[in-house]
Amino acid sequence: MPAREASVKRIYRAGAGSIVLAAVVILFGSHAIAFVKSGFPPDSIRREALDRCAAADSHFLRYLAKDRVECYRSVHLETETAAILR
């Protein structure tokens, strides 16, 4: 009987875990998607800028808005400087 009780407990835990996972997806799914998209924008210029900043600075976090703004600003300044020097 103890083996059967352990099986039943595992089934209940798996079911409870599935319910919790479903609730998290329902409640936070759109926020999670927006969070990921912020780090990987659909605009190829911004995405490339974030890739360059990540390669140049090991402390750069593409998911922090502050870091993204500073990255876009620095890449924009580099682009303007390169255009002036041509």
**Residues 41/50, Cβ–Cβ less than 8 Å:** yes
DSSP E strands: which ranges in 11-54? none
For the full predicted model, state whether its pTM sits above 0.75. no
Q: Is the dihedral of CA 75, 55, 57, 65 positive or negative?
A: positive
User: What's the pLDDT score for residue 72?
Assistant: 92
- pLDDT digit string, tens, across residues 32-52: 778 878 888 888 888 999 999
pLDDT over 90 at 70, yes or no? yes
